[in-house]
Structure formats: structure tokens, C-alpha cells
A and B are shown apart, each in its own frame.
Chain A
Amino acid sequence: TQLLEQSPQFLSIQEGENLTVYCNSSSVFSSLQWYRQEPGEGPVLLVTVVTGGEVKKLKRLTFQFGDARKDSSLHITAAQPGDTGLYLCAGPKTSGSRLTFGEGTQLTVNP
């Protein structure tokens, strides 16, 4: 059983569409992070959310941490082909411990 469940596993959309991907857990996390991995590269940190209910925006990407700190979502507005990649959420099992990663959402944005 994965500590962090991501959905959907795969998502293929057209350029200009909006999308949301989810990261859920039955456990409370002190923080959650989102990474994006492009082909042939390692994952790159996009954002860290720490406070329950927190919303962070990064250009067309909006990240939200659930009030109970058990889940997070990533919303992309007007997706572009450059958004294509594997999106991973991650969080520490306990405060100060190493990160546990979800299985990821593979996003493909078609021109």
C-alpha cells in the first residue's frame, strides 16, 4: 500500500485545457512537496506546502494543501506542451525523516 496515492496515473490532454492531479494519504504530513520530471532528467522541486489549507501559485500552476494535511492537489491552467512530464508528490513520513514519494502522474500535453 502506497503511503501517498496519486491520481490519475496517466493524463493526456490538448494544449489549452485545464487539469487537476491529486495526491492523497490516510496519514497526516507536516509538509508536502511537488516535483516535475522531464524525460532524461531528474525530478525538479516545484513547491513545498506546509500549512493546512495553504495555496501556492507558480505561474499557471496552483498547489493546494488540504486542511487536514492529508492531501494535496496541483491544478494547471491552460496547459502547454512544455508542461509534459511526470508529476510527483512527496512528504516526510515523520517530521525530519526522508521523503516518501508517490508513484506519479504522467502528463502529456498535445499541441
Chain B
Amino acid sequence: GAGVSQSPSNKVTEKGKDVELRCDPISGHTALYWYRQRLGQGLEFLIYFQGNSAPDKSGLPSDRFSAERTGESVSTLTIQRTQQEDSAVYLCASSLRTYGYTFGSGTRLTVV
């Protein structure tokens, strides 16, 4: 597609449930990134995929968070046993190597 697509755009879930967030990067972009953004704050790095290399998971805040990417296509970010502090906007970006990032519009996650 022309841009980075994220789904769903909004998600409300009950505390303790698992959620899956999806990101469709720009075709041909080898790198894919997930960030978390709490209200009024900057970007918190979560995980980075580059081609077939092992992902950089150094930003994942706990073992409840995991992400997968199939080849150079879709990625899913999974949060297990959601907590209220997980409420945030989750942004996905893709790029050719580490050139300028193209971001999606994000998934707004609310844990109630």
C-alpha cells in the first residue's frame, strides 16, 4: 500500500485480556518498528525488525509483550494479560534500512 496501515485504530479491552495489534508496512521496506506513546509524551521504543536478522527486543517492557514479523511483511504486537498501564497509542513505522521512518496512524489501546 501507499502508507503504513495499522489495525484496529481503536481497541478497548478488559484488564487481563490479551490483545493483538497489526501493522502492514510499506511494501519493500525492510525495517519495521513498534513504539508506544503515552498521552502527551514522546515515543518509547519497543521492538525493531530488520530483514531476516534477529529482532531488537530491548525495548519490550515485560514478558507480557511480544511481536512477530513474517519476512518483510505484516507484523503483530501481542500484549498478554493487559494492565491499565498498557493504555497508550501503539505506533508502527517502516523504513528502507534506517532512512526516514514512515509511521502509521497508530492503535489507541484502552484497558478498563
Contact = CB atoms under 8 A, between A and B. Distances in A.
A108 interface: no
26 contacts: A33-B100, A41-B103, A41-B105, A41-B106, A42-B4, A42-B91, A42-B93, A42-B103, A42-B104, A42-B105, A42-B106, A43-B43, A43-B101, A43-B103, A45-B101, A45-B102, A48-B99, A48-B100, A88-B43, A90-B101, A97-B98, A98-B48, A98-B98, A101-B42, A103-B41, A104-B42
A10 B31 CA distance: 31
A12 B56 CA distance: 37
Contacts of B102: 45
Chain A's interface: helix, strand, loop or mixed, by majority? strand
B40 to A, nearest CB: 7
A58 B105 CA distance: 23
Nearest to A101: B43
Contacts of A88: 42-43
Interface of A: 33, 35, 40-45, 48, 86, 88, 90, 92, 96-104, 106
A88 B104 CA distance: 16
Given A42-B104, A45-B100, A98 B43 contact: no
Interface string B77-97: 000000000000001010001
